Structure 1
Amino acid sequence: MTHTIPAPGATTKSFPKPSELPVPAGAEGWEELYPYHLRFRHSPGADDKFWFCDSQHWPTVFKPFETIGAEFAVKCLGQYNTRHLLIPPANGIEFKVHLGCLYMSPVPVPPEQIPARVPEFERRAGHYFRNWETLLDSWRVKVRATIDEMQALQFEPLPDLVPFEDVLTGKAQDGSEVLLENYDRLIQLCYRNWQYHFEFLNLGYLAYLDFFEFCKTAFPGIADQAIAKMVQGADMELFRPDDELKELATLAVESGLAAAFADTDDVEGTLRRVSAGDGGRAWLARYEAAKEPWFNFTVGNGFYGHDRYWLDHQEIPLGYIKDYIHRLQSGHRIGRPVEELVAERDRIVAEYRELLDPADAAEFDAKHSLAATAYPYVENHNFYIEHWTMGVFWRKVRELGRVLAGAGFWRDAGDLLYLTRNEVREALFDLVTGWAVGSAASGPSYWPDEIERRCRVVEALRTQRPQPALNTPPAEITEPFTMMLYGITTAQVQQWLAGDEEQDASAISGLAASPGVAEGPARVVHDADQLGEVQEGEILVATITAPSWGPIFGRIRATVTDIGGMMSHAAIVCREYGLPAVTGTGTASRTIRTGQRIRVDGDHGRVEVLD
């Protein structure tokens, strides 16, 4: 659905306004599920600003509690642009929830204010770039300390009586304060690590963008992919979970334990069969060593309460190990082609450097070194925050949900997700009040029906695919983060506006995100739960991929996504696995069908349907 808005002397195509989008049947009253500050209704200029849907990070409709990830992440991104670093051309990003999905609008700095920000930005960013490794070591320490404190929080049912020892010692508290304080602390700790998340991230992007822009000026006509290759082959912690599985698979084959992995859905049975084999004890010791921290990894992206983590669902990593065992037995190479990536990186760097005079070569070296140093953080932060921090956070949320379910507030631990975080605080006080005065709490007679209603609303919202953008786009998209991370370019916006009218069913254009050409049958995946369906030699087609999908990259020949730019997770991961990729196609997962034979040209950003 697009609109044409007449303008003096011209006709401008536009996306619909938020107020014009239809509400799916059954989702009436959906706005009541979310805080007032996330609604367009209370946002000045909601029908005027250009907004795009961030389905890269939040691809499905929010349950009310799940907005916490978006609120903390985007707020904290903004604070580093606007208040910490004073990035000259960019403040933060406005964000709203509409029809259950997240929409964003970058906030530019007025041109006349940019020069005054430059010296302060250089002073602050320079401190980080000069002390990158030392500061990053400190970052890991404080992030881990926050995770450990969060892990130590406990949510337990209230006792029948205050312990007599508390009477004797004059404690004068009934224990309910622990439940309330631990909930508040859980939220605070989550918020703390999201602030830490962005301490380095925007600088990582900026270092790469600075090198990118230098190359574009020094080497007119250089391809974006050539620049990306100059920092590839990095040793990233985000790949460590997958590397652990590969080592465990290799050890299982070497120890003659492959047969023990026949049925990995039976976790206890698999581990029991392993322990009975020769070398089984050593393998299990290696397995236990890998679990902390590397199994704090989700098949999703960490932003949803339903994300499944390896630590809680060990059939997932065991299944990946089983697949790697089969591939090893078939003579396949399962490791990332790091040596080839590094050799290609060094070759391209040397060839372009030779084209420069000594002064420019020195500047090239400095900018390349900084980009290569900062680049790994762009992905590594994912493990520490989205995976590890949020894995512990959601585990504690379910623990609290079980306490309230046990008190009759709702049926399942996950039902808590249908409350906002402030409503959870109210429900907790309702619980402790009824317990303290010896009467029935109100929650059990209120929340079950209300949660059922909200569940129906969320399911109704999920029936409608989100509009990719809202209102009238600018004539040209120039903001670098928006282009490189999200793939929101002028061409992409025009493709969205063209819609089905100009759609060529046999060819789809996108961003050339990872080089190479591959052909094969398509496998369309809309949800991480479908990853088990991916077969050897297929081409993955998805709205977006998650970094944690690494274990299936050895099965596939190429990747195609609807969204994402050159610095998106999908693009980076595919380059590091040596897979062709086309991102930012807009419609690939809707127009391509599983089983169709397709050709992916990652050099030119083109996907052809061959059937």
Structure 2
Amino acid sequence: MSAPLKTFPKPSQLPVPAGAEGWEKLYPYNLVFQNLSGAEDEKFWFCDSQHWPTVFKPFETIGGEFAVKCLGQYNTRHLLIPPANGIEFKIHLGYLYMSPVAVPEDQMAARAPEFERRAGHYFQNWNSLLDNWKIKVRATIDEMEALQFKSLPDVVPFDDIVSGKAKDGSEVLMENYDRLIQLCYQNWQYHFEFLNLGYLAYLDFFGFCKEIFPGIADQSIAKMVQGVDMELFRPDDELKKLAALAIELGVDALLADTDDVAGTLERIANADNGQQWVDAYTAAQDPWFNFTVGNGFYGHDKYWLEHQEIPLGYIKDYVRRLHDGHQIMRPVAELTEERERIYTEYRDLTDGDTRALFEAKHQLASTAYPYVENHNFYIEHWTMGVFWRKVRELGQVFADAGFWADRSDMLYLTRGEVRDAIFDLVTGWAVGADATGPHYWPAEIERRRVIIDALSSQRPQPALNTPPERITEPFTMMLYGITTEQVEQWLAKDSGSDDGALTGMAASPGVVEGIARVVTHADQLGEVQEDEILVATITAPSWGPIFGKIKAVVTDIGGMMSHAAIVCREYGLPAVTGTGSGSTTITTGQVIRVDGNTGRVEVLER
């Protein structure tokens, strides 16, 4: 075995793909390394391919900017979490890199009392505060839904002359755009109000278990909070219920051609008992079809509400599985039974004050844990689904005015450039002359498209620069699986294994063998076959409908509390996360063994 490397490449050492020269000019100045005066080559950065697995188009940076900024504000300004400030983030070669900001050791103790006071308020009032959170988030979504982007009329209505309104409607276009951005930002602030507390409650329980039960497996701790009711699973559960109802009503055969959405629904509606099924299908859409097969951070993510061939196709597949005698429901009863058994076994090993603390910390972790996944539905899926739909509406206004060919072309502009383009549009309209945009943007968008495509041809480096001696920041370890051991394995070209096996986080228990299916994009999910092992950069929480088909999951990034790990445990699938290079080392068709108990992945047949 070759000696491990001691450092990852520096950003300045990474080659720019041919055709992507000048890529850094596509993004806001503050998001690229080039403006850090050399500091970019000093800090340790890791690529967050868990949330942003593909190259950003300029407008899409909004998700990364809002998410990481708002995460930081709760660590640093709201809660004063003793060991963790926020996360610095930059875009390099189109991908997002992060560098956790540590709290100096001599400042941690001073933050502790205020943190306990602030976090204690949330933990003591968790349910009422969370109920209010849902009201705030839903109000934001409703206001966003009400925003409209329409082309300006040839002339203002005569009623506006009579009323003395003295405005032409262009101000609405500008105000609605600004408000759309602000509402998106608002829900991202709400997003992190509870999230870090959910992680902290689990981390506190995790640390206490490690302290009083030396040698306890990470998975044993995770199992003590599994099997809880999560809203994130509701979209998938609704499809399963619709599949069972289709069989019950005898309309399941009419789901043969689900790509023809209108035709399928019409055929079912005209069948005996069919309208009952269509009514149930329609009722499930609000809100559960505000769900994407992606992760909500990209403008190209496909949402069920707008692409109903996707949920209909999943329903069709569930019907097939039911006819084949498969159990399609999540094994909640089994998970709950195992949870209670493991919890009771460990609780019975304690007594006195230790037992009281163990019970209290477990109760807190169990209460806060569901939010770790549930927030995904409200923010990444529902909020961002509405946001991207409104972005496309505005993009269509520009397309109708000749600024670009397709409504999605607006994604090649930064959000600041969009604001400038709006004024260009309304100025040309107001003065009765050509706007500049139609003469400028088509060629510029094509130039940028070439650069984005070139950047997309190169997978990101998993990390940059020299890692610290020890990685101690708890969120980085628990969420991303970026541990000292994993970084050392990434540094070793053969992943630190003499036999070529991949090692990662033992994220969900079980050992299986099967044929690998490498998926790098949600559009490839339709290629997944029965009993294959899914290998991906990362899985999205919304991939639940294919989890009934597969045997196991392997991902490049992710820790014990990553979405992939949590979802796999809830579906009873073995999983190894944080392998670093699973999706690039393994190829579709290889026979592999996944050991979710030890975090080991072996290629058995090449």
TM class by shorter chain equals over 0.9
Q: 1:17 aligns with which of 7, 10, 30?
A: 10
Distance in 2 separating the partners of 1:346 and 1:232 = 9
Alpha-carbon spacing, 1:231–1:588, altered in 2? closer, same or farther (3 Å) = same
- Corresponding residue for residue 480 of structure 1: 474
- How far did residue 22 of structure 1 move? 1.0
Q: Is the 8 A contact 1:506 1:610 kept in 2?
A: no
Distance in 1 separating the partners of 2:130 and 2:481 = 28
Alpha-carbon spacing, 1:595–1:176, altered in 2? closer, same or farther (3 Å) = same
Q: Is the 8 A contact 1:81 1:92 kept in 2?
A: yes
Distance in 2 separating the partners of 1:585 and 1:286 = 42
- How far did residue 500 of structure 1 move? 4.2
Q: 1:413 aligns with which of 407, 412, 422?
A: 407
Q: How does 1:484-523 map to 2 (within 5 A)?
A: 484-500=478-494, 506-523=500-517
Q: How does 1:392-471 map to 2 (within 5 A)?
A: 392-471=386-465
Aligned letter for 1:327? R
Distance in 2 separating the partners of 1:554 and 1:23 = 40
Q: 1:167 aligns with which of 144, 161, 181?
A: 161
Aligned letter for 1:19? S
- Corresponding residue for residue 120 of structure 1: 114
Aligned letter for 2:240? K
1:561 and 2:561 correspond: no
Distance in 1 separating the partners of 2:588 and 2:120 = 49
- Corresponding residue for residue 383 of structure 1: 377
Alpha-carbon spacing, 1:160–1:516, altered in 2? closer, same or farther (3 Å) = same
Distance in 1 separating the partners of 2:237 and 2:221 = 26
Q: How does 1:72-221 map to 2 (within 5 A)?
A: 72-221=66-215
- Corresponding residue for residue 35 of structure 2: 42
- How far did residue 457 of structure 1 move? 0.3
Alpha-carbon spacing, 1:110–1:598, altered in 2? closer, same or farther (3 Å) = same
- Corresponding residue for residue 70 of structure 1: 64
The alignment yields a C-alpha RMSD, in angstroms, of 1.3
| Residues 493-520 of structure 1 deviation map (CA, whole Å, 9 limit, x = unaligned) | 1111112485656521111000111111
Aligned letter for 2:210? K
Aligned letter for 1:35? P
Q: Is the 8 A contact 1:225 1:512 kept in 2?
A: yes
Distance in 2 separating the partners of 1:411 and 1:516 = 50
Normalised to the residue count of structure 2, the TM-score between the two structures is 0.98
Distance in 2 separating the partners of 1:21 and 1:526 = 22
| Residues 549-597 of structure 1 deviation map (CA, whole Å, 9 limit, x = unaligned) | 0000000111111110000000000000011101111111112121211
Q: Is the 8 A contact 2:489 2:495 kept in 1?
A: no
Q: Is the 8 A contact 1:96 1:104 kept in 2?
A: yes
- Corresponding residue for residue 9 of structure 1: none
- Corresponding residue for residue 526 of structure 2: 532
Aligned letter for 1:577? Y
Q: Is the 8 A contact 2:494 2:500 kept in 1?
A: no
1:267 and 2:234 correspond: no
Alpha-carbon spacing, 1:3–1:389, altered in 2? closer, same or farther (3 Å) = farther
Distance in 2 separating the partners of 1:239 and 1:34 = 35
Alpha-carbon spacing, 1:233–1:561, altered in 2? closer, same or farther (3 Å) = same
Gaps of 5+ in 1: 5-11
Aligned letter for 1:258? D
- How far did residue 21 of structure 1 move? 1.2
Q: Is the 8 A contact 1:180 1:428 kept in 2?
A: yes
Q: Is the 8 A contact 1:3 1:14 kept in 2?
A: no
Distance in 1 separating the partners of 2:29 and 2:207 = 40
Taking only the aligned residue pairs, the percentage that are identical comes to: 76
Q: Say which is worse superposed, 566-575 or 39-48, in terms of deviation.
A: 39-48
Normalised to the residue count of structure 1, the TM-score between the two structures is 0.97
- Corresponding residue for residue 7 of structure 1: none
Q: Is the 8 A contact 1:505 1:591 kept in 2?
A: no
SS at match of 2:492: helix
| Residues 351-378 of structure 1 deviation map (CA, whole Å, 9 limit, x = unaligned) | 0011112210000000000000000000
1:373 and 2:351 correspond: no
- How far did residue 43 of structure 1 move? 2.2
Distance in 2 separating the partners of 1:485 and 1:502 = 22
Distance in 1 separating the partners of 2:475 and 2:193 = 16
Q: Is the 8 A contact 2:296 2:380 kept in 1?
A: yes
SS at match of 1:411: coil
Distance in 2 separating the partners of 1:385 and 1:344 = 31
Q: How does 1:576-591 map to 2 (within 5 A)?
A: 576-591=570-585
- Corresponding residue for residue 318 of structure 1: 312
Q: Say which is worse superposed, 501-510 or 43-52, in terms of deviation.
A: 501-510
| Residues 294-353 of structure 1 deviation map (CA, whole Å, 9 limit, x = unaligned) | 000000000000000000000000000000000001111100000000000000000001
Alpha-carbon spacing, 1:406–1:494, altered in 2? closer, same or farther (3 Å) = same
| Residues 412-439 of structure 1 deviation map (CA, whole Å, 9 limit, x = unaligned) | 0000000000000000000001111111
Distance in 2 separating the partners of 1:67 and 1:294 = 26
Aligned letter for 1:293? P
Q: 1:30 aligns with which of 15, 18, 23?
A: 23
Distance in 2 separating the partners of 1:519 and 1:253 = 33
Q: Is the 8 A contact 1:101 1:466 kept in 2?
A: yes
- How far did residue 607 of structure 1 move? 1.1
| Residues 397-420 of structure 1 deviation map (CA, whole Å, 9 limit, x = unaligned) | 000000001001000000000000
Q: 1:341 aligns with which of 335, 355, 372?
A: 335
1:258 and 2:252 correspond: yes
SS at match of 1:102: strand
Q: Is the 8 A contact 1:3 1:15 kept in 2?
A: no
Aligned letter for 2:103? V
